[in-house]
Each structure stands twice: as structure tokens, then as C-alpha cells.
Amino acid sequence: MIRASDEPVSNVVDGSDDRRIRVVGLGGMNEIGMNCFAVSYGSDTLIVDCGVTFSHRDLGIDVIHPRFDYLEAISSTIRGLVITHGHEDHIGAIPYLLRKFDVPIFAPPYAKALIEERFEQHEPFHPLRLVATQTETPFEIGCFRIETLPVHHSVPDATALVIGTPGGTLVHTGDFKIEHDPIGSVAFPEERLRELGDEGVLLLMSDSTNSDVASVAGNERSVRDELDRLIQEAPGRVVVAVFGSNIERIRSITQAATRTKRHLCLLGRSIRKHVRIARELGLFLDTPLNVISGDRGREMDPASLLAVASGTQGEPMAALSRLARDDMPELSLEAGDTVILSSREIPGNELAIFEVQNAFEQRGIRVIHRRSHPGVHVSGHACRDEQGALLDLVRPMHFLPIHGTFHHLRRHAELAEERGIASTLVAQNGDIVAVDQAGLSICGRTRTGRVHIDHQQALDENIVRERELLGRLGAATVAIAYGTDSQTVRGVRVSSRGFLSQGENQDDVHREAEDFVSRKLARLAPGEREAERVQTVAHKSLRQFLGTRFGRKPLVTAIVIGDE
Ligand SMILES: [Zn+2]
Ligand SMILES: [Zn+2]
């Protein structure tokens, strides 16, 4: 296994004479989320997926997308963006990409509908040129011939990509799992993948999310049966919390509603959006939707109500949290009702989810989750046996694990080696991976990083760091009344936020700080009292005072107000 290296950043971007395929992860390597890959051959580049990640929500950051520096450097070679499926970590950054690049987008129907919906809220600089991909219809972009294959995952229309290039064939699995008895009509494309393996696949890039998890992800059919049983047995109202994009799961709940003669109530904007799009695309044709409008939930006999709610991650404004706080106009739960969390916790969200769970339990509402009832959820990502099966079908010459932290990628590369694939590589975001018949290697590095978005505006790293510091340390301000002509300090005022309780003590500390700063300023020789110097000394001395007094230094701002 070749490990990611710290090779110096190089500008291997003009590959017109390069007969190797170059693959660069701008996101999605060394992390789960923010997937975005550039695949180049000669002077043509294809972008695969363009996703976001979520963190720093407490700092007011809505989403984070990859830096596009590398794409800017090779912009004249970009021929198109191909989307594997409609999850946010694969499509969420498209509006930001289109602010910079005029790129045609090829996406499976469900993802296409979601992207179109998103563009009603965003105004990108470049127009949306969006084409639906069909699994039986290959298409060409630049020198690439793309074939999309249907795979199983937790959103409709998930696809793997077969990317034919003059230098050889790449297979990119997208996010996948293998179900042998799927609820839906789509069978996993084993035959086609085996055929591709027989013909020879140069490089396989495969989903590593569950490379630590033994066996298989489990199938949706078993979740349907378990939910059905739990809903049947539950005495009062039942609320099932799911990811809105998990349409198969919502269909199962819908069918359970019909079987148990309950009325279905959809709670939360994201659930209603996904169900609407799914219906428009004909995905509910065989499932009668006995949906009642939200405001009828309260009138219903408890035993005849089943609700689907968004907010599985404990998001405070989502339907589930609002139900937990009993702050939902459509519905109120009571002791004896049941809440089923048919989802997994995204790492980092555990505390918020526990809070929601506790709020229900304190009110006598039963909460069923996968820790106590493993059957209420299955992952949408392949576990080790499925990853192994895929490797056995494709039998690539080289293997590049994607969609995982370093640990996940390394474990997946080890699995490939166990399956007899000698050439594997654990790369990181920004590595320029070159591949041909002769080998797989890192031939350079390019700049990568994260762009934080707050209300659709990009914030630079400094602002994010400042917000972090403000949250952690608080802030203090020193204002100096300054006689400009005489270069004299006429008064000093200090105030602070976020580290002193209000009251006398706060005022006392502020006065002490003012005295301290004043004394420091008084020591300045007459020739040193120009405004700039006064500001620097005030800033430094307030930091010094607070550091000595409290053992920490909040963010300090010094303002000099002249009398001109
Ligand atoms: Zn996905
Ligand atoms: Zn994903």
C-alpha cells in the first residue's frame, strides 16, 4: 500500500501531454462528506460530485464546501460535472461551483429534481445547465464516455459511474450497498460489473464509509418488517423520524400506515419536500398516500395516527425537536405515545439527539432507537463483505478508496489487498493521483481547504477563527478619548462580553482595567503619544491585565477617539 505523502505543492495542472489519468480529491478524502473529485485525461477534466459538509453550526456556519483553487487552475479543461446521487455531501456545493464556473451538470433524475429545487433559492452567477442521466444510456463528455449503473443506497436513483477514457476505464461506486432482496425493483448491477471486470478496469474508486464494519449493511426489507411490527403493537400515536431523502423508508412507513389503518401526517419541510418530489417522479405510484394535512393531527384519535418527522440529528428547529418541546402546532404527543428514531447518529450529534430523547422520555413518551432495537435502521453504505464482493466483481488493476477518513481509507485498502489487488493507494485531499497501466502514484499536490458559508456568503478562515475565539474566550474593548492636537489621553473606558457576570464585580473589574491601562499610557514619554502608539499600548496592556487577572486573554479591541 502506498501511503499519502507530504510532497510539496506542485502545479501539475497542464496535462495535455500526460497520457495518465489524474484524479484529485478536493473533498471526500480523509473525511466523510464534501465529496468532489476532478478526473482528468489529456486536456479534458470531469468533476464527479460537488458536495458540502456540516460543522461549526454553533458558529453560524450553514455549510462548508471545498476550495475550488485547483479547478480554477485547470478551468479551461473542465467539460462537465457528473453527480452520482442526491445527498447533500454530493450535490450541496453546486450553487457555489456555478458562481465560478459555467459547467454542464449530469445528474440522475432524483438528484436533478433536488438541484432544480435548490436553484429556486440560490442565484448562481452561471445558469443551470442540467441534464438527467439514465442508467441505460451512456453519454460523452470531452474524451470521457460515461455509463451510470444503479446501486443500492439510502436515496432514490443512486448510481455508480463507469468512466471510459482513452487511457483505460475507471469505476467510481458513488455511495453504495448491495441488497440481495431489495424492496425496490432495481437489482444490483452485478453482471455488468463482472463484465467490466472481465474487460479490464484500470482503477476502482469505492465508498469506504463502513470499511470498519464487518458483514453487510442489512436490507431495507427487514427494517420495513420491524417498523411494521412496532407500529402495529404501539398503543397511541406513533412518530417515526427519518432522513427526508430516504424515500424507500418513507414508503415502508406509508405502507405500514395503510396496513394498520392509521392516517399519515408528514411533519417537517424536508420530509414534505422529498415526498413531493418522489411523487412527481412517480416513486409512490404503487403506494396510496393517505396523508392528512398537518393541522388535523391534533383532532385524530391517537391510535389512528402515524407521523413521519424530520430532525433525526436533534436539529433544534426540526420537527422532532419541536415535538419534544411540545412546540408543534400540528401535533402534540402525550404519555403512552411512541417515537421511533429510524436513523443513525452522525458523529458529533449524539448529545443533541440525547437531549431530544430525554425530553420525550420525561413526558412518558416511549423512544425506540437503534441502540436498543438494531432492526429500526440499516446503513446505506456497504460494509466489509459488500466492499469485498464489489472488489471481487470489478477486479481492478489499481484501487483508490474514497469517502472516508484516513482510517476508513486505510482499512478499505487493506481489504483490497486481502482480495488480491496489489496496487492500492491511500491519498488525501489535494494529492494529484496519476494512474496508468504501469502504476498508481501521487505526482503532485494542489491546494485544498474549506470555504465556510454563512447566509450564502463565503467567510474567510479568519472570521471563523475569530468566532471560535469569541465563543471560547469572550471579548473586551478599551476606548480612549484622545486630544489630537495636545496628544493627551483624556479618558479610558473598558467593557467586556462573555466572561464576567453582570453586576458590581463586572464594574469593579472594568474600573481596575481602566486604571491599569491609564497607568501604562501615562508612562509614555511625551514624544511617544501619537494615536497609533496609544492604541497599541492600550490593546497590549488590557490583554496583559486580563491575562494576569483571569489566566486567559479574550479578543481585545482598542479604539482611539480623537476630538477632531
Ligand atoms: Zn449518499
Ligand atoms: Zn456520501
pLDDT in tens, 470-487: 888 899 999 999 988 888
Question: Taking 60 as the threshold, does the pLDDT of residue 143 lie above it?
Answer: yes
Å from CA of 452 to ligand 2 middle: 19
User: pLDDT at position 2, please?
Assistant: 53
What single-letter DSSP state applies at residue 303? G
Å from CA of 471 to ligand 1 middle: 32
As a whole number of angstroms, the distance between CA 55 and CA 96 comes to 18
User: pLDDT at position 476, please?
Assistant: 94
Extents of the domains making up the chain: 21-215+379-458, 220-372, 474-562
Residue 538 near residue 503, CB atoms below 8 Å: no
Which ligand has the nearest atom to the CA of 158? 1
Å from CA of 305 to ligand 2 middle: 33
Å from CA of 464 to ligand 2 middle: 25
Which residues are CB-neighbours of 258 under 8 A, at least 6 positions away?
287, 288, 290
Residue 118 near residue 95, CB atoms below 8 Å: yes
Query: What are the beta bridge partners of residue 306?
Result: 238, 264
Å from CA of 494 to ligand 2 middle: 49
- pLDDT cut 70: percent of the chain above it: 95
pLDDT digits (tens, 9 = 90+) for 516-558: 999 999 999 888 889 999 999 999 999 999 999 888 888 999 9
What single-letter DSSP state applies at residue 376? G
> Which is more confident, 495 or 486?
495
Summarize the confidence of residues 168-173 as an average pLDDT.
98
How would residue 5 be classed by pLDDT, with cut points 50, 70 and 90?
very low
Which ligand has the nearest atom to the CA of 90? 2
Å from CA of 154 to ligand 1 middle: 7
CA angle 404, 406, 408 (to 5 degrees): 50
User: pLDDT at position 329, please?
Assistant: 87
Which ligand has the nearest atom to the CA of 108? 1
What single-letter DSSP state applies at residue 345? P
Å from CA of 246 to ligand 1 middle: 10
> Which is more confident, 502 or 202?
202
Å from CA of 384 to ligand 1 middle: 17
Q: How many residues does the chain have?
A: 564
Burial grade of 563 (CB within 10 A; 0-12, 13-18, 19 or more): exposed
Summarize the confidence of residues 459-477 as an average pLDDT.
88
Summarize the confidence of residues 413-431 as an average pLDDT.
97
Å from CA of 244 to ligand 2 middle: 15
How would residue 564 be classed by pLDDT, with cut points 50, 70 and 90?
low
Phi and psi (nearest 5°) for 435?
-140, 135
Summarize the confidence of residues 252-280 as an average pLDDT.
92
Å from CA of 106 to ligand 1 middle: 17
As a whole number of angstroms, the distance between CA 292 and CA 358 comes to 28
Å from CA of 47 to ligand 1 middle: 17
Helix (H, G, I), strand (E, B) or coil at 408: helix
Which ligand has the nearest atom to the CA of 156? 1
Å from CA of 440 to ligand 2 middle: 24
Which ligand has the nearest atom to the CA of 51? 2
Instruction: Encode burial over 450-470: b for 16+ CB neighbours within 10 A, e otherwise.
Output: bbbbbeeeebeeeebeebeee
pLDDT digits (tens, 9 = 90+) for 286-331: 666 667 766 677 778 899 999 999 999 999 999 999 999 999 988 9
Its CATH class, for the domain covering 21-215+379-458, is alpha beta
**For the ranges 20-34, 137-151, 520-534, the one whose mean pLDDT is highest:** 137-151
Q: Give how far Cα 456 sits from Cα of 65, 95, 181, Å.
A: 11, 9, 42
Å from CA of 413 to ligand 1 middle: 20
As a whole number of angstroms, the distance between CA 111 and CA 280 comes to 13
What single-letter DSSP state applies at residue 538? H
Å from CA of 130 to ligand 2 middle: 21
Å from CA of 347 to ligand 2 middle: 14
Å from CA of 87 to ligand 1 middle: 5
Å from CA of 141 to ligand 1 middle: 24
| Relative orientation angle of helices 531-550 and 504-522, to the nearest 10 degrees | 130
Mean pLDDT for the chain?
92
Q: Which of 135, 108, 142 is nearest to 39 (CA)?
A: 142
Question: Taking 70 as the threshold, does the pLDDT of residue 335 lie above it?
Answer: yes
Helix (H, G, I), strand (E, B) or coil at 280: helix
- pLDDT cut 90: percent of the chain above it: 75
Which residues are CB-neighbours of 345 under 8 A, at least 6 positions away?
313, 353
User: pLDDT at position 506, please?
Assistant: 86
Its CATH class, for the domain covering 474-562, is alpha beta
Query: According to CATH, what is the number of the domain 220-372?
Result: 3.40.50.10710
Å from CA of 558 to ligand 1 middle: 48
| Relative orientation angle of helices 247-259 and 269-280, to the nearest 10 degrees | 90
Which ligand has the nearest atom to the CA of 151? 1
Å from CA of 561 to ligand 2 middle: 53
Å from CA of 174 to ligand 1 middle: 8
Question: Taking 90 as the threshold, does the pLDDT of residue 56 lie above it?
Answer: no
How would residue 8 be classed by pLDDT, with cut points 50, 70 and 90?
very low
Å from CA of 78 to ligand 2 middle: 23
> Which is more confident, 175 or 259?
175
Å from CA of 189 to ligand 2 middle: 19
Q: Cα dihedral sign for 491, 541, 539, 530?
A: positive
Question: Taking 70 as the threshold, does the pLDDT of residue 401 lie above it?
Answer: yes
Å from CA of 465 to ligand 2 middle: 27
Provide the whole-model pTM. 0.89
Å from CA of 154 to ligand 2 middle: 10
Q: Give how far Cα 104 sits from Cα of 66, 85, 127, 140, 141, Å.
A: 19, 16, 9, 12, 10
Instruction: Encode burial over 16-29: b for 16+ CB neighbours within 10 A, e otherwise.
Output: eebebbbbbbbbbb
Which residues are CB-neighbours of 457 under 8 A, at least 6 positions away?
none
Which ligand has the nearest atom to the CA of 89? 2
Give the amino acid at 356: V
Å from CA of 33 to ligand 1 middle: 9
Residue 489 near residue 534, CB atoms below 8 Å: yes
pLDDT digits (tens, 9 = 90+) for 59-84: 888 889 999 999 999 999 999 999 99
Å from CA of 224 to ligand 2 middle: 23
pLDDT digits (tens, 9 = 90+) for 95-105: 999 999 999 99
User: pLDDT at position 1, please?
Assistant: 58
Which ligand has the nearest atom to the CA of 379? 1
